[in-house]
Amino acid sequence: MKLAVCAGPPTCGKTTVLRQVTKRLLAKQKRLAFLKIDVQYADEDEIFQKEFSIPTRKVYSGELCPDHCNVMVLGDALRWAEQTAADILLVETAGLCLRCSPYVEGLLGVVVLEATSGMNLPRKIGPMLSLADVAVVTKIDLVSQAEREVFRARIQEAAPGTAIVESNALYGIGVDPLVRRVEQAAEVIPPLFLRGNPPIGTCTICVGKKEIGWQSHFGVVRALENQNFYRGE
């Protein structure tokens, strides 16, 4: 079985891209399973179930950060997908975290970016872009060709090794190169590892300490005037 993990800022067109990919893979007789991870609301699982009649699941990360949740549930999700006899598991993440990335070492990671989101976006979103295998640029019909070219150059600057696919996903134009990447992706062979480095240390904020100011926290902390330093035992 193959795995493709798709990230990207909210409303960038992840679902539209994945629907086009799904449509084309099903036409090639591939069996698919679909997992949506989001924080508190998602209906993509129902959309995919209704439109394509494929097995779908959704997970709300709730109190966990969504990429953290992805690491936790992905092992189970792969077993679930295998039980449904899927050839490919497509995972659509919440796409919020600009510190982490949800991609798995050796397996396909796709980021979706909108052409309309401003020239600095590629510089802002960190490993979500730089660790992706493929960057899909959506909504290209809304900007001039010159802007598409400059946006592309900005992506290449931030992520020199990432392949770029431009698409008008509503029409399904430009999606074929991504479909080929999914078809040619590596097979899932455990153990699997997260591609990026997680944040440093144990986070007191993640475990529920809410007080403002580094003096109230321990582990790797940071003051306005200092770089990171260690505080505690």
Partner 1 sequence: MSSLDALDSRIPPSTRRIQTITILGGCGKNGVPEQLRRVDLKMGDIVSVVGPTGCGKTTLINDIELYANGTTPTGRTVLINGEPHPEDYLADPSSNPIALISQHTNFLSDLPVHVFLETHARIRGVASPARAIEETVSFANQLTGEPIILENAMTELSGGQTRSLLIADAIVIGNSPIILLDEIENAGIHRTRALELLKGYEKIFIFVTHDPRIALLSDFRIVMRDGAMQKLIVTKEEEKGVAQEIRKLDDLLLGLRQRIRSGDELDSSYLNEKLHELGYVA
* Residue ranges binding partner 1 (CB under 8 A): 116, 118-120, 142-154, 165-166, 168, 171, 173-174, 177
124/209 with CB nearer partner 1: 124
15/168 with CB nearer partner 1: 168
35/121 with CB nearer partner 1: 121
Smallest distance from partner 1 to CB 170, Å: 12
Closest CA to 6 of 98, 80, 113: 113
42/164 with CB nearer partner 1: 164
Q: Are 182 and 108 in contact (CB under 8 A)?
A: yes
Q: Are 72 and 59 in contact (CB under 8 A)?
A: no
Smallest distance from partner 1 to CB 171, Å: 7
Smallest distance from partner 1 to CB 115, Å: 8
The single-letter code of the amino acid at 15 is: T
- Distances 104 to 76, 107, 180 between C-alpha atoms, Å: 14, 5, 19
Which run of H or E residues covers position 134?
strand 134-138
Cα–Cα distance for residue pair 105/70, rounded to 1 Å? 14
Smallest distance from partner 1 to CB 103, Å: 23
170/223 with CB nearer partner 1: 170
Give the count of beta carbons closer than 10 Å to the beta carbon of residue 151: 24
Q: Are 57 and 92 in contact (CB under 8 A)?
A: no
Smallest distance from partner 1 to CB 21, Å: 16
